[in-house]
Amino acid sequence: MSRYLLALDQGTTSSRAILFDRQGRIAAIEQKEFAQHYPQSGWVEHDANDIWRSQLEVAQAVLKNNHVKADDIVAIGITNQRETTVVWDRKSGEPVCPAIVWQDRRTAGLCDRLRGEGKEELFARKTGLVLDAYFAGTKLNWILENVPDARARAERGELAFGTVDSWLVYKLSGEHVTDSSNASRSLLFDIHRCEWDDELMAVLQVPRSMLPRVVASSGIAAQAKAEWFGSPLPIAGIAGDQQAATFGQACLREGMVKNTYGTGCFMLMQTGAQAAVSKNKLLTTIGWTLAAEDGAAPQTSYMLEGSIFVAGAVVQWLRDGLGVITKSSDIEALAAQAPDNGGVYFVPAFTGLGTPYWDPYARGSISGLTRGSTKAHLARAALESIAYQTADVLEAMQKDAAIPLKELRVDGGAARNDLLMQFQADMLGVPVVRPQVTETTALGAAYLAGLATGFWHSQEEISAMWQVDRLFEPGMAADLRDELLMRWHKAVGCSRGWMLD
């Protein structure tokens, strides 16, 4: 009997491969970082072949280093950085240009023009998204308009588009597919009909022939070729990283909320079978689609989402950009040297601001510096910025959902930072709950693949495996919390619209 699920977790700064056992525990893990490219201000690119090579390398290594054979694997689950846009030649399988990363701001002007043409309501109604450079559709338009001969080749059916899940599935299997959760981040997909939309494609001038076939998030979508792992393996789970993390956190009932602290920070609330319409600049997105059983219709679950573009990336900047710390894990000890932020506020709007501001022209700022400010204050302000941004998102979410938050389930690398998690509980005024397995993005992909293959049999079985590692209770006085948030919002005001003429 096969013993493991293999989860491929392709993130913004690294690729990971994790083996999960039948109890949902990590049996082995491999990780490799890859290069980030910043060719112009506000531009962020990846080499799509770097993504593929690093992901294949860790997947093969996690099997080899732990003496696991393909026969020990029941299926592969894939989760990925969302919105990052890859276009490749169908014949050669080679990218036609660098991948444009979700953080990239180069299409802000196109979004402004579409808003000026009155298209904002159309996109919001059909896709649940705001018109922002964050999403894949405008990035794809940019490639077609700016890469030599790309549009002509696309019109001839020679080019394929995909987000990173599509790219990995294509390289593993030769199939051109995506799941509903990733499709819902493209500005090209009607989330209510669960279909690519001709009207949206016409606005963004995208040929239908470029688009992948949309499959269920949990269901056998393709077969990885035997050349990669020694035997063919089914790819049975696909979901964007934040939707996968929500599934991995067992947020399977309406009103449950999780927050993932990765490169960015993403809070999702489960809203069930109905797509809730936000009045507070949240996104409405597909969480996942479970394949139909016994002739029944596929089951699609929807989410409200708040998106923060820079969270853990601010720690990486302190490490790589300023050399304030040697490794990311040093941030907690350094921040703890300061009893408070000393009046310093760090708004890490390196690539604009997401929810609830949606300001692509904002840029990072550090406010409140005095001669007494130290690197400990800067480190603390960097960590606090993650919690403040999350508080802004939760306030919008509470207004939309009208469901009082009982707890916030957390995951991702920065969720292991106790100082940050305690401050987060203080800023929200509700308990913050960290599970025993914080690699919930990969775990969610494994769960989706496991449900499709009978490795696990029900959502109830998955919920029963979720266990608490630590509960952080709020302890800050309300007046102090209000003062900190007031000064945070003052600092945000200084960062807004910085790049506008």
Give binding residues for sn-glycerol 3-phosphate as ranges: 12, 82-83, 134, 241
Contact in structure between 279 and 336 (CB atoms under 8 Å):
no
- DSSP-assigned letter for residue 154: H
Reported as type and span, the H/E element at residue 260 is strand 257-261
Task: List residues forming the annotated binding site.
Answer: 12-14, 16, 82-83, 134, 241-242, 263, 312, 316, 413, 417
Distance CA 167, CA 65 (A): 26
Contact in structure between 124 and 187 (CB atoms under 8 Å):
no
**Dihedral sign of CA atoms 334, 339, 345, 347 in order:** positive
Q: 468 — alpha (psi -120 to 50), left (phi > 0) or beta?
A: beta
Distance CA 168, CA 6 (A): 14
The strand pair at 257-261 and 265-272 is best described as antiparallel
Distances (CA, A) of 360 to 110, 216, 270, 411, 434: 12, 32, 27, 27, 32
**3-state DSSP helix/strand/coil % of the chain, to nearest 5:** 40, 25, 40
Task: List residues forming the annotated binding site for ADP.
Answer: 12, 16, 263, 312, 413, 417
- State the SS3 of 5-53: EEEEEECCCEEEEEEECCCCCEEEEEEEECCCECCCCCCCEECHHHHHH
Which of 145, 83, 81, 161 is closest to 110 using CA atoms? 145
Q: Supply 79's token pair.
A: 């989760």
Task: List residues forming the annotated binding site for ATP.
Answer: 12-14, 263, 312, 316, 413
Q: Supply 11's token pair.
A: 């993130």
Q: What angle do CA 454, 441, 219 make, to 5 degrees?
A: 30
Which of 258, 256, 252, 285 is closest to 401 using CA atoms? 256
Residue with tokens 């392709």: 10
Distances (CA, A) of 491 to 317, 343, 368: 19, 11, 9
Q: What angle do CA 297, 249, 289 make, to 5 degrees?
A: 15
Distance CA 383, CA 381 (A): 5
Longest CA–CA span in the chain (Å) reads 69
Cis peptide before 98 (omega within 30 of 0): no
The strand pair at 73-80 and 99-100 is best described as unpaired
Distance CA 109, CA 145 (A): 14
Collapsing DSSP states into helix, strand and coil, what is residue 455? coil
Residue with tokens 């309501």: 121
**Dihedral sign of CA atoms 253, 256, 261, 267 in order:** positive
Distance CA 263, CA 178 (A): 23
